[in-house]
Chains A and B, each alone.
Chain A
Amino acid sequence: MMNNILVFLMVLPILAGIILIFFRTNRRVQIVGSLGTMAAVAIISIYLLNKIQNTGILRLDFGGWEPPFGILFVADSFSMLLVVTTSIVSLICLLYAVIAAGKQMSTLYFHPSVLFLNAGVIGSFMTGDMFNLFVCFEVMLLSSYVLLTLGGSKRQVREAIKYVSINIVSSWFFLVALAYLYGSVGTLNMAHLAERVAEEGQGPLLTTVSILFLLVFSLKAGLLLYFWLPGSYSTPPAVTSALFGALLTKVGIYALFRVFSLIFPHQPELTLSLIGFMAAITLIGGSLGAVSTNDIRKIAAYNVVIAVGFILVGLAVSTPSAIEGSIYYLIHDMVVKALLFLIIGAMISLTGTAQIGKMSGLMKNYPLLGWSFFIAMLSLAGVPPFSGFIGKVLISEGAIENGHLFLLAVSLLSSLFVLYSLLRIFKNCFWGETIISKDEQLPLHKGILVPCVILVLLTAGIGLGGEGLSVYVADAANTLLNPQIYIDAVLGEQQ
């Protein structure tokens, strides 16, 4: 049976994006087209996720060229879980954009760019070829450049220059690393790479190449090399920050998990310790950043950094429960970071400022917004019953099993910093004296809260219904820890 349906996850957004370019001025077509496409992608990916549980890993060889000669898409539980979350979160962010953003935004190629961004992200999750991963990264980055500069205010352009240059440098490193890899083992198919690296033994040369990949992906994920992140994630409009915060760093994290569990798992005492060390510094740096600024957008951006560190603690520990915890936490973080950035966007549009000291008593006028923020805060800090809890417990459990007590301490301490940094926003902006009276308050567009409430329900749902996800997450973790399953599925006979 042909698995052509796999490619539709990436092709549908591209196709819709192109068609939307032709209808640039028609706002209704833009809205219906982009929302419909993301809904279709979500439905297909949920269907595939369920199918994988019965049939095992699915693959599609493009043009019928069998691996390792052709390029292919591979769908295992890990990638499909991320695709499902990506499409649902993007759908909700688009909904927010439709309600909140002006007409100008939606006719300036905003919707096609979001669709192309999604195509890049989904392609990166699904590809089974290292060079194709690079291409999908570029698709994603090019659309993110467009989204970052859309609107073209001075601040945006300044941050975009930094963002674009840092990404061009890291893409160049990526290419160099690919060239070294291809030069030393002669293949770029991930499963074939895994086999060849295992055959040759991961010597000093291949380990160096793997460190080069670590460098590239940590730049994209914001692991240790996150210096560019707070600036560029806090300048664009709320929807764009939400999409960036929810999706972009996760692709880097996904690549780290894939590469260091599948291709280079043979020198854990070097690579995984290095990742653990970088994760610890990321956690400390992110925590300090989050409590050191009064700009609520920057606080949210530093929270992205902390989450990256936290998820990679799971990879550094690499026990079954820690990997499961990381996967739970990845899903949770995509949902809740989108929620956080959307609420903060709404706060800024209501008050016209991003400084903590300049707003106060929002709770009285906008109670629903306040309580949504409160729940996002609890979820991020890992308070049950919300979604952050399961991930934190499982990662901590793994760290204890494996004796990584230092990582455990740092990661738990960072949760306190997350709580403290958000509690500062909650206490100063939502509590306190209401500065504006009931008649003077800006009316909050009722619809803006709809996407936020959906996300709140999602984070509560993932927390309470974690049991329902556990089948998929366990399968995903199993494949990550036993690369042979992946290799057999790719290099075996087409089913």
Chain B
Amino acid sequence: MKINDVILKTVAKAVVLVIITFGIYLFFSGHNTPGGGFIGGLVLASAFVLLFLSYDVETVSEGVPISFKKLSAFGVLLSLSSALAPVFFGKPFLSQSFGYFDLPLFGKTELATVTVFEAGIALTVVGVVVNIILSISEGTK
């Protein structure tokens, strides 16, 4: 029997946009206020989970052709590279630095290398969470 889920699908489309925006906001606010890569990543992952629930795995995989296993590996790679980079400048492993730049539109903005590290964490969390949900939904046949 086919369930009529027009309302779910329509609402999901709008809500996913809100969730993703909120996730990105949490990610960037994490530098000095509550938030950060892990929490932002979890919220972003929940957007994907909602998509998988309201549509089906095939449709979403077609729209978002990413291998989530590789995404999480890429995330760790990104974090690790940003942790390793200071080694080449004669600083201890995991050193962070930051500076203030005048950007068009944003004005004076603080740019910190820790953001790259956090981005890696966010990608890893998204990859791992979505991967877990997908593995559970597959089950054994």
Cβ–Cβ contact B69 & A21, under 8 A: yes
Q: Count chain B CB atoms within 10 A of each CB in A11, A14, A60, A63 and give the residue with the most.
A: A63
As a 0/1 sequence over residues 50 to 82 of chain B, the CB contacts with chain A under 8 angstroms (1 = contact) are 000000000000000000011001001100100
Residues of B within 8 A of A492 (CB): none
As a 0/1 sequence over residues 1 to 26 of chain A, the CB contacts with chain B under 8 angstroms (1 = contact) are 01010010001001100110110000
Cβ–Cβ contact B69 & A63, under 8 A: no
- In the complex with contacts A21-B70, A22-B70, A14-B92 CB distance below 8 A: no
- In the complex with contacts A21-B69, A22-B70, A14-B76 CB distance below 8 A: yes
A102 at the interface (CB under 8 A from B): no
Cβ–Cβ contact A64 & B95, under 8 A: yes
* Segment touching A, from B7-15, B21-29, B83-91, B103-111: B83-91
Q: How many A-B residue pairs have CB under 8 A?
A: 41
Complex partner residue of A11 from B73, B80, B95, CB under 8 angstroms: B80
Residues of B within 8 A of A61 (CB): 92
Cβ–Cβ contact B92 & A4, under 8 A: yes
B94 at the interface (CB under 8 A from A): yes
Residues of B within 8 A of A172 (CB): none
Q: Is the interface of A mostly helix, strand, loop or mixed?
A: helix
The size class of the interface chain B forms with chain A is 10 to 19
Cβ–Cβ contact B80 & A63, under 8 A: no
Residues of B within 8 A of A63 (CB): 92-96
Cβ–Cβ contact A4 & B93, under 8 A: yes
- Nearest chain A CB to B122 CB, angstrom units: 16
Cβ–Cβ contact B91 & A21, under 8 A: no
Residues of A within 8 A of B95 (CB): 63-64
Cβ–Cβ contact B94 & A21, under 8 A: no
B interface residues, Cβ below 8 angstroms from A: 69-70, 73, 76-77, 80, 83-84, 87, 90-96
A interface residues, Cβ below 8 angstroms from B: 2, 4, 7, 11, 14-15, 18-19, 21-22, 60-64
15 additional contacts, CB 8 Å, given A4-B92, A60-B93?
A: A2-B90, A2-B91, A4-B93, A7-B87, A11-B80, A11-B93, A15-B84, A18-B76, A21-B73, A62-B92, A62-B93, A62-B94, A63-B92, A63-B96, A64-B91
